[in-house]
Structure 1
Amino acid sequence: MIQINLIPDVKQEFIHAQKMRNAVITFAILICGVAMALLAVLGIVYGGQAVRESLARTEINKQYKELQSVENIDDVLTIQNQMSKITAIHDNKTINSRLFDVLTAVNPPAPNNVKISTVTLDPKTNLVVIEGSAENAFAATETFRKTILNTSIETVVDGQASTMPLTDEVTIGETSYGESADGSRVLRFTVQFVYPAGLFDNTLKVSRMISPTAQVDVTDSRTRVPDSLFSQQPADVQEGN
């Protein structure tokens, strides 16, 4: 069977153009529908957000008025802020009174005992500088240095005791002769050493300072430090003496 297309080319092009137009219109209608749906969703979200913001603002204003009605509210808030920091302040504070226990432990017995006039503690560098004097001159200062080197610290962590050296190196600085308050000739000296980190921290439990000549229980106070450990800086020796 033979079919003959009697529709002219112009008519075919017109029909094809109509199909394309209908497809474009249908697609445009779908796009408009999606856009309108998105606008509706955005409107709902924006409206809901505006409602929530309004409710939150109302609640904030209500709470603010209630706080304003509290008597001495500024003092109350200040106290609450300070109380919230008490634990951190307590953990970060230093116990500098342990320095007296260190000085008591490292001072040799007579005749090599020393008298301390000035002590400087630098927590940034963990450096202790001691200025003192000794009647037994260089023998006493050398004994003092060795005593510091051989002193250890006993700590307790989780119920377990352990020891660590007070320092690994002791440096003797300038020395010179002077005259003490009672008129005796003494050797003035400067000693410095670096102590272990945490020695004066509140979080480290130190139980004892152990030296070759003494064991000092740490009391974190100066009540057990002998007054004889300290003295005024000896005066310069006058020429001709």
Structure 2
Amino acid sequence: MTQLNLLPDVKMEYLKTQRSRRLVSGVSLLASAVAITLLVILLTVGGLQKHHLSDLNKDISSDTAKLQSKPDINKILTVQNQLQSLTGLHSTKPATSRLFDYLNSVTPVNVSISSFTLDLTKQSIEITGISDSLSSVNTYIDTLKFTTYTTKDNSTATKAFNNVVLSSFSLTGGGQNPANAAAYSATLSYDPVIFDITKTVKLLVPKKTTTRSDLTNASDLFQASSSQSSSPTAGSR
């Protein structure tokens, strides 16, 4: 069967143009509808946000007024701030409870302490005491000089005490007690890390020294010198 196109070319172009117009119009209407929808959504969200912010401001104003109406509110807030700072203060205070363990570790068994002064501000120590001989005193001084420490975070041995000086010594004769034959005074400074409460410190004492921590029946660490009263003294500032 033979088909003949009886429509003239002009008519065909017209129909094609009409279809294109309808397509463009449909797309334009769809785009306009989408734009209007987005605009409505944005306006709605903006209105809701403004309303929500307004409610929040009202709540803040109401809560502020309630707090301000409470008696002594400034004192309460001050106490709360101080309580919050306690954790920080605790982490910076020195662990002076380690002191007696350190002294037992570094003090030879035949050396006693009559007076002990710890200056946390200058990070210095002053020690006076008695011993059975000047040789034991020298051993004590050398022990302090060569004692090191390590921490849980740092295994490198570091000197625990510096500027160790035997400031004075004398022979007392000991009287009826040979253990009091020599008196001494020493000054030194310490590394603040050994009293850092946030650090786990291990003191390393030279093995050639027999200290009180090595013996189960060591004599008292603190003893009064012959020129002092019978009760031991220890100072700390």
User: Corresponding residue for 2:20?
Assistant: 20
Mapping 1:17-56, distance limit 5 Å: 17-56=17-56
Q: Aligned in 2, Cα 1:172/1:36: closer, same or farther, shift over 3 Å?
A: closer
Q: Aligned in 2, Cα 1:113/1:85: closer, same or farther, shift over 3 Å?
A: closer
User: Corresponding residue for 1:137?
Assistant: 134
8 A contact 2:112–2:222 mirrored in 1: no
Q: Aligned in 2, Cα 1:2/1:210: closer, same or farther, shift over 3 Å?
A: farther
The structure carrying a bigger helix percent of its residues is 2
Measure the CA separation in 1 of the matches of 2:167 and 2:65: 74
Q: Aligned in 2, Cα 1:68/1:169: closer, same or farther, shift over 3 Å?
A: closer
Unaligned runs of 5+ in 1: 153-166, 217-223, 232-241
| 1:26 aligned partner, one-letter code | G
8 A contact 2:130–2:183 mirrored in 1: yes
Q: Deviations over 1:83-131 (max 9, x none)?
A: 3444564465333253255335533344x446667656699xxx97666
8 A contact 2:104–2:213 mirrored in 1: no
**1:201 paired to 2:203:** no
Measure the CA separation in 2 of the matches of 1:139 and 1:198: 25
3-state DSSP class of the match of 1:63? helix
8 A contact 2:161–2:191 mirrored in 1: no
Identity percentage of aligned residues: 25
Q: Deviations over 1:125-174 (max 9, x none)?
A: xx976666877335422245458989x9xxxxxxxxxxxxxx88677856
Alignment TM-score, normalising by the size of structure 2: 0.58
User: Corresponding residue for 1:99?
Assistant: 99
User: Corresponding residue for 1:211?
Assistant: 213
Q: Once the 2 structures are TM-superposed, how far is the Cα of residue 26 of structure 1 from its aligned partner?
A: 0.5
How well do the aligned residues superpose, as a CA RMSD in angstroms?
A: 4.9
Q: Is 25-34 or 113-122 further displaced after alignment?
A: 113-122
Measure the CA separation in 2 of the matches of 1:143 and 1:114: 11
Measure the CA separation in 2 of the matches of 1:200 and 1:103: 17
Measure the CA separation in 2 of the matches of 1:74 and 1:17: 81
Aligned residues between the structures:
200
Q: Aligned in 2, Cα 1:138/1:44: closer, same or farther, shift over 3 Å?
A: same
